[in-house]
Chains A and B, each alone.
Chain A
Amino acid sequence: MYEHLETAENRDSLKRVVVDPVSRVEGHGKDTLLLDADNKIQQARLHIVEFRGFERFIQGRPYWELPVLVQRLCGICPVSHHLAAAKSIDQLVGVDPENLPVSAEKLRRLLHFGQVLQSHALHFFHLSSPDLLFGFESAIGKRNIIGVLADHPDIAVQGVTLRKYGQEVIRMVSGKRIHGTGAIAGGMNKALSRAERDYLLADIDQIIKWAAVAVALVKKVHCANLPYYDEFATIRSNYLGLVKADGALELYHGGIRASNAAGESIMDHIDYCRYNEFIHEEVRSWTYMKFPYLLALGKENGSYRVGPLARVNLCDFISTPLAEAARVEFKAHSPEAMVHSTLAFHWARLIEALHCAESIKELLHDADLLGGELVAQGEKRYEGIGVIEAPRGTLFHHYQVDENDIVTKANLIVSTTSNNSAMNESVRQVAAEYLSGRELTEPLLNNLEVAIRAYDPCLSCATHAVGKMPLQLELCDAEGTLLDTLIKHSDGNIERI
């Protein structure tokens, strides 16, 4: 609908506004807007400075290093990379998912639920709740977690504790908060001890309660602002994600389901090892980031969204009771077959967080976590594919190894790449509907960031050198002359040059 804003015809005569980097996203993003003399938007793009060196980083390493090595690709969702790599190398040692020992699979699920819970808690409470609670154009000094702590202390403390609990699940299962070696080829390297199980059980009822409160909060905020929340940055897209064989929401292992904007099936229960037959990636000249699309629909119509909104839309039900009740309410709020509101990502994210908390409790009462067979073995293979639903969406790891067990080829499709087309369309929608014709100010530009943040993009920014992430805003006139520059330094000071 807003594709005409991807590339303007008379680019040289337009004013250029750059928001660089987009804050409160993982990594480095940059918005560029081209405006005419009346401040009407003629072009809007989101540039993601994506690091394309994953494959080079991995190739040449022995496969058994992968579960630990790939955690260093991302400081925010290392466990997702860890598990996707582990699922891949299961196949390299001849172990298919159905042959993974029961205890090992349950431990991996527990690890994954902990990861998704902590990631979703961080995103909502720390990065998004300031916008949702104070308003997208509220004072910048208030739009942060400290502002939330000051005005909504209970909510903020619950957010910190949910995040901490998820991290503790990871630490108990994998032995460490980071660089853990929980998952290994064909299984897991340790079971949960009774002390660790009891430690996690002690707080789980409180965690479920707070997760349910968070769902109620985001629903209240969303529904109190209708129809604005259903229209802001909203696009009617295709959706893709994993589902269980019975159609239930699935985060660890399932078949690929894709549906169109009307909720009609494009594909269902497809073995993810065949992903190459259905998904291709398009390259565009103005960005290094690729644009994946469903081959059956072609480049023009085949882009799709992944992540919480996709998963909650696609599944037939959720297996845990509180999250299922929340899903039913979520779906009922929209008159359409699919909920397309981009801001509904937040609502769906917290429904998943609640599902994770409930699932953690179920698993902690399962004796299989405490022992039993942990590792299976099979015959060596030369290719392995692991797919998992990471917090931000479907994550693909694909490896080939040689006779010496050295990785010769690696291909990763991360969830943010899958959402690239959708994020750009949302940016164009916000630029056209909310910014065009108005004088640009920081609160107005925050609308662009709100749209991008809803997707929770993650750009492998595990490095964090102090002082390397200033925010710079440039304003140029119709001749391209730089008129004004604002820099927000890492200490919060804003300088006009």
Chain B
Amino acid sequence: MATLSGFELKPILVFGYGNLSRGDDALGPLLLEYIGQQADAVLGSVDILCDFQLQIEHALDLEHRDLVLFADASVACTQAFAFAELSPVRDDSYTTHAMSPAAVLAVYQTIKKQPPPPCFLLSIKGERFELGEGLSVGAQGNLTAACRFAQELLADVDVAAWRQLVSG
């Protein structure tokens, strides 16, 4: 697609997804709100993108990026949050309206015929996902810890440094 003057892409993309009105599903967007309050020195190189869920066209949002951080709620987390590097994977999420970040990377690789930029996933532990609910008590604490960690990440936007921080 054409580019819109005044909408220049920045090298770092932080992509949070979830629904603000569905309990702990709001964790991804709330992490974005926190990052959006950071100093201009941080935000100068960071684009923030929010959506309800991941879809095929989000592969095109990875173009021309040096580093990408996805942020999402997860019921599978055993700790407050987990940090992992992503690889393209053809998983079962292709068959739903909501794709996994690894599946989005696979779409990128297929349509662009090149590997995606380095992408990481910050999963924040969530428990309750009902429409109209706020964050659960547990998720509030998890969000605080994840925000602190994200701040640390954005203070040193270096792939090697991020790889050192991947959860064991």
Contact = CB atoms under 8 A, between A and B. Distances in A.
Interface string B3-18: 1111000000000011
Nearest to B129: A463
A126 to B, nearest CB: 6
B60 A466 contact: no
Contact of A195 (B4, B22, B50): B4
- Which label, helix, strand, loop or mixed, suits the secondary structure of the B interface? loop
Interface stretch (B88-96, B140-148, B149-157, B159-167): B88-96
B126 to A, nearest CB: 7
Nearest to B100: A466
Contact of B92 (A53, A127, A160, A489): A489
Contacts of A462: 19, 22, 25, 52-53
A4 interface: no
Interface in B37-67: 49-53, 55-57, 59-60
A469 B18 CA distance: 16
Contacts of B76: 466-467
B73 interface: yes
Nearest to B73: A465
A320 interface: no
Contacts of B137: none
Contacts of B72: 466
A300 B28 CA distance: 47
A196 B74 CA distance: 36
B106 interface: yes
A463 B22 contact: yes
Given A75-B19, A144-B94, A160-B107, A464 B53 contact: yes
A160 B1 contact: no
A26 interface: yes
B107 A146 contact: yes
B57 A72 contact: no
A23 B19 contact: no
Given A490-B92, A492-B91, A468 B75 contact: yes
A219 interface: no
B91 A490 contact: yes
Given A76-B97, A167-B57, A465-B73, A57 B5 contact: no
A463 B20 CA distance: 9
A465 B94 contact: no
Interface in A49-82: 51, 53-54, 56-57, 69, 72-73, 75-76, 78
A31 interface: no
Given A463-B22, A463-B129, A178 B2 contact: no
A490 B22 CA distance: 21
Interface size grouping (class) on chain A: 35 or more
B140 to A, nearest CB: 17
Given A160-B111, A178-B52, A195-B6, A463 B25 contact: yes
Contacts of A118: 57
Given A72-B22, A462-B22, A466-B100, A161 B1 contact: yes
Contacts of B20: 72, 179
A199 B111 contact: no
A126 B5 contact: no
A465 B90 contact: no
Contacts of B98: 75, 461, 464
Given A75-B52, A167-B57, A178-B52, A465 B25 contact: yes
A145 B111 CA distance: 11
B136 interface: no
B132 interface: yes
B161 to A, nearest CB: 26
A142 to B, nearest CB: 11
Nearest to A207: B1
A40 interface: no
Nearest to A162: B57
A72 B107 contact: no
Nearest to B52: A75
B56 A465 contact: no
B57 A160 contact: yes
A164 B130 CA distance: 29
Q: Which of A54, A56, A464 has the most CB of B within 10 A?
A: A464
Contacts of A203: 1-2
B74 A465 contact: yes
Closest 5 pairs between A and B when the two form their complex, measured CB to CB: A75-B52, A202-B2, A72-B21, A464-B98, A144-B94
9 contacts: A72-B131, A76-B52, A125-B56, A156-B111, A157-B111, A176-B50, A178-B51, A464-B98, A465-B129
Interface of A: 23-26, 51, 53-54, 56-57, 69, 72-73, 75-76, 78, 118, 122, 125-127, 143-146, 149-150, 153, 156-157, 159-161, 163-165, 167-168, 176-179, 195-196, 199, 202-203, 460-469, 488-492
